[in-house]
Homo-oligomer: A and B are copies of this chain.
Amino acid sequence: MTVRIGVIGGGQLARMMIAPAVELGLEPRVLAEESGMAASLAAVAVGDYHDEETVLAFAREVDVLTFDHEHVPQPVLRALVAAGVAVHPGPDALQYAQDKLLMRAKLADLGLPQPDWAAVTRADDLQAFLDGHGGRAVVKTPRGGYDGKGVRVVSAAVEAADWFAALSEDANGGALLVEELVDFRRELAQQVARRPSGEIAVYPVVETVQRDGVCAEVVAPAPGAVGRVADEARRVGVAVAEGLGVTGMLAVELFETSDERLLVNELAMRPHNSGHWTQDGVITGQFEQHLRAVADLPLGSTEPTAAWSVMINILGGPADAAMTDRLVAAMAEHPRAKIHTYGKAPRPGRKVGHVTVAAAELDDAAYEARAAAAAFD
């Protein structure tokens, strides 16, 4: 009896689930937005994940449903659950990844550390928040933002005037999220896997380096994050997974402040860019772990296989004709680098792959990974 795992969304996260699914004897199926997407190797149906009938029909042929992204609408998710489909993570958890205001309120209920925040419906409220927080703050649209989109640092309420205008046109009303501009030393990410039956596995906390709002580099584990910082990251990660009822992989993005507090920045309830290093640097990579978790199978070891791992994203450049030449150059110069490509047409700034290097010394891993990724520039 093979467990059939349906993945909604045909991007690189679905693509990277396929290989571990096959090794474990699970049967992956993908509902992609269009044909020819990254995950097109698996049995692929093409359809719109906003459409309840499309998703229900796809779900009837699988044993467990999971996701490449968090965008499936709540009514569709609720209809799946009502139809008896095993959905992981479920709608009750996913709502917190879909709506940043819901997330902030829930984390506050749980007493978890986060930046000061407020829900603002009018420019006056935003200005009041700015006045109370040194004149600058981060404004976010609660829904639909990713990779820096839907996020704006403002020093006057007028800078969010267009978003307020859009709110007033929305029949549902709604509010914007405003957060204090955290004086952070660096950004960390804590990954946790959780099974429906409750078992939890915790990965080492990592440091993430963002460029232009996009994850550029991950160092694992986060340098110097032993003892209190690692313990606190683990505590917060487990508390979010349990408190929000997350099943599958969870990534908690954290600010480490200059006074050594950890504050929750964002959540992702799926395999996450901050965990790509686990493919080559941990006994159980995040894609295998996500499959184990959503299928409610025993979780694998999260022990690293090397002292240090460094992951660098490969972004598409202006010219793509020489992509193969660049790949060959990276392979030739960096035989220790693990190169992962997503089968995507390169466009400027688009993530088209990543490189990881695991090594005994951090400087070796970082040098090699950066040099291999630079071959694609």
Q: A residues 306-336 with Cβ under 8 Å of B?
A: 306, 324, 327-328, 331-332, 335-336
Q: 14 A–B contact pairs at CB < 8 A?
A: A18-B19, A22-B343, A23-B339, A23-B340, A23-B341, A283-B335, A283-B358, A292-B331, A297-B331, A298-B335, A299-B335, A301-B335, A305-B305, A305-B358
Q: Within the complex, what minimum Cβ distance (angstroms) separates A198 from chain B?
A: 14
Q: Which residues of A (5-28) have their CB < 8 Å from a CB of B?
A: 15, 18-19, 22-25
A300 at the interface (CB under 8 A from B): yes
Beyond the given A18-B41, A25-B341, please list 5 additional residue pairs across the A-B interface where CB-CB is below 8 A. Answer: A2-B324, A3-B324, A41-B42, A298-B331, A301-B336
Chain B nearest CB from A35 CB (Å) reads 14
**A325's closest neighbor in chain B, by CB?**
B1
Find the B residue at minimum CB distance from A284.
Answer: B335
Number of A interface residues, CB 8 Å? Answer: 37
Copies of the chain in the assembly: 2
For A332, the chain B residues whose CB sits under 8 A away are 298
A358 to B358, CA, bound (A): 15
- Name the distance in Å between A368's Cβ and chain B's nearest Cβ: 10
Q: How far is the CB of A68 from the nearest CB of chain B, in Å?
A: 15
Residue among A23, A24, A292, A324 facing the most chain B CB atoms (10 A cut-off): A23
Contacts of A301 in B (CB 8 A): 335-336
